[in-house]
Structure 1
């Protein structure tokens, strides 16, 4: 007799996005790191020529992959940003921000307790206003390439 595993239900996300680097950052970063590796090679004459390249290029690629790890999703009654989870029942309102609106929301008047996940290479964002008396966080600001779609998915999930 084999024990049965509980059935796993995976809800299809109403919205899902990964905050990846834009394509042009990859070749620019690799070019800059290759120049840096060459400069290091010029400074250390006894160093084998392949060492700076073999160390710096993989570290740069790993760093860029790590930077692109953030996922944003609306699924199963939750707004998920990386490891953070927000039940949609606490969403009061959602505002889609263009790049200028994001800059203003993150500027001098920004609340110090706000939850912010922003990527400078992604212009737009959403501002999620919260209604949770037990949480001091007034709002979340999250970068997204599709602010209107994310705002719509959050408002639909809130119901």
Structure 2
């Protein structure tokens, strides 16, 4: 029998762009192509549509490629990763906490990966003597499941 993977040792999520992001990008690209076209014949009549609409959709696809992965050894957010031994504490932020954490409380050397269409936000405090980054703030669709996978304590009152 194979061993089952539990959420405490593996977690994965992808920040896909919602349908309205795709529709909005296609609409903006179509309007821009129509402005370039403006009733002209020949190459200028079809080339803007052929170029701009796929480019806009590729840009949206690139925005939706980001993933968050927790393994037994590391935390990965997009291309960045850190060994779990350097993770000190973690907390989920509500809307007001996210606004404060990304605004007046933001440390200039903090690692931030935020997408506005992903409502949840997590802050993970670090304890790495070779890295000046005090914490990571990143979006999460399921912040509580991510915190369960990280299995870290809440931050002490003076850290938050």
TM-score by length of 1: 0.84
Q: How far apart are residue 46 of structure 1 and its match?
A: 5.4
Q: How far apart are residue 134 of structure 1 and its match?
A: 2.1
2:89 corresponds to 1:96:
no
2:76 corresponds to 1:80:
yes
2:30 corresponds to 1:34:
yes
Which of structure 1's runs of 4+ aligned residues deviate more than 2 A? 43-48
User: For 1:120, what is the secondary structure of its paired residue?
Assistant: coil
The structure 1 residue matched to 2:48, chosen from 47, 52, 64, is 52
Q: Return the alpha-carbon distance in structure 1 between the equivalents of residues 42 and 50 of structure 2.
A: 16
Q: How far apart are residue 47 of structure 1 and its match?
A: 3.8
8 Å contact 1:126–1:141 — kept in the other structure?
Answer: yes
Q: How many residues align?
A: 146
8 Å contact 1:41–1:47 — kept in the other structure?
Answer: no
Q: Return the alpha-carbon distance in structure 1 between the equivalents of residues 116 and 30 of structure 2.
A: 24
Matches within 5 A, 1:110-129: 110-129=106-125
Tell me which residue corresponds to 2:157: none
Q: Return the alpha-carbon distance in structure 2 between the equivalents of residues 113 and 43 of structure 1.
A: 51
Give CA-to-partner distance per residue, 1:51-106, whole Å, 9 cap, x none: 11000001011111111111100013210112211111111110011233212101
The CA RMSD over aligned residues, in Å, is: 1.9
TM-score by length of 2: 0.83
2:59 corresponds to 1:63:
yes
- Which 5+ residue runs of structure 2 have no aligned equivalent? 153-160
Q: Return the alpha-carbon distance in structure 2 between the equivalents of residues 109 and 96 of structure 1.
A: 15
- Which 5+ residue runs of structure 1 have no aligned equivalent? 1-10
